[in-house]
């Protein structure tokens, strides 16, 4: 399954450039998520002290949000499209790989070609969904480690205050537990 796509010279460009693009766009979305998180802090701090700010400050914050949100929407659509194309190319590589085995079967099995197509489709869809979610979750976790580390000192529970970066360790444990 993996060799038909990643080790075949015909599909190597799609395999490796697709993975590189998906990782790069996930990294970009993660940086935008961090910027949105910073914007939330600034915006809600402004809302909390509204008497010290003007309507122009509000509009400025809205412009900042648009400059973050618009590229995020475009990158999310691009990521989804690229992931679908990449998965389709992988399906195509696996189908051509298994086709040679299917032709050699001496016994005629009704619907076997459709079964091959459906099984490959399910496998590739599962890999696409799990891969993009795990990649996004891992990047988000690592991007927010400095934020969580800084917030760990403000935890109201004394036993957690004694552990340096307690929120990081809790988030890591929950992430690994969720992955398992």
Full DSSP string of 65-129: HHHHHHHHHHHHHHHHHHHHHHHHHHHHHHHHHHHHHHHT--S--TTHHHHHHHHHHHHHHHHHH
In this predicted structure, what is the pLDDT of residue 57?
94
108 and 163 co-located in one domain: no
Domain that holds residue 121: 3-132
169 and 127 co-located in one domain: no
Overall pTM surpassing 0.85 (yes/no) = no
Does residue 138 sit within a domain? no
In this predicted structure, what is the pLDDT of residue 51?
92
Does residue 94 sit within a domain? yes
17 and 83 co-located in one domain: yes
Tens-digit pLDDT profile for residues 66-118: 999 999 999 999 999 999 999 999 888 888 887 777 667 777 767 767 777 78
Extract the residue ranges of the chain whose pLDDT is less than 70: 102-103, 109, 112
In this predicted structure, what is the pLDDT of residue 54?
93
């Amino acid at each position: 399954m993996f060799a038909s796509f990643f080790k075949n010279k015909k599909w190597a460009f799609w395999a490796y450039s697709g993975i590189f693009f998906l990782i790069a766009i996930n990294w970009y979305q993660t940086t935008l998520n961090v910027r949105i998180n910073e914007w939330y802090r600034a915006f809600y701090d402004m809302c909390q002290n509204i008497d010290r700010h003007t309507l122009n400050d509000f509009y400025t914050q809205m412009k900042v949000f648009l400059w973050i949100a618009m590229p995020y929407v475009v990158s999310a659509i691009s990521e989804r499209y690229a992931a679908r194309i990449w998965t389709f190319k992988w399906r195509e590589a696996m189908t051509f790989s298994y086709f040679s085995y299917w032709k050699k079967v001496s016994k005629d099995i009704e619907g076997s070609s459709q079964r091959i197509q459906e099984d490959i489709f399910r496998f590739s869809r599962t890999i696409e969904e799990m891969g993009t979610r795990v990649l996004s979750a891992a990047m988000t976790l690592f991007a927010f480690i400095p934020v969580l580390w800084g917030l760990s000192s403000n935890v109201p529970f004394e036993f957690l205050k004694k552990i340096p970066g307690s929120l990081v360790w809790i988030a890591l444990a929950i992430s690994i537990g969720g992955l398992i």
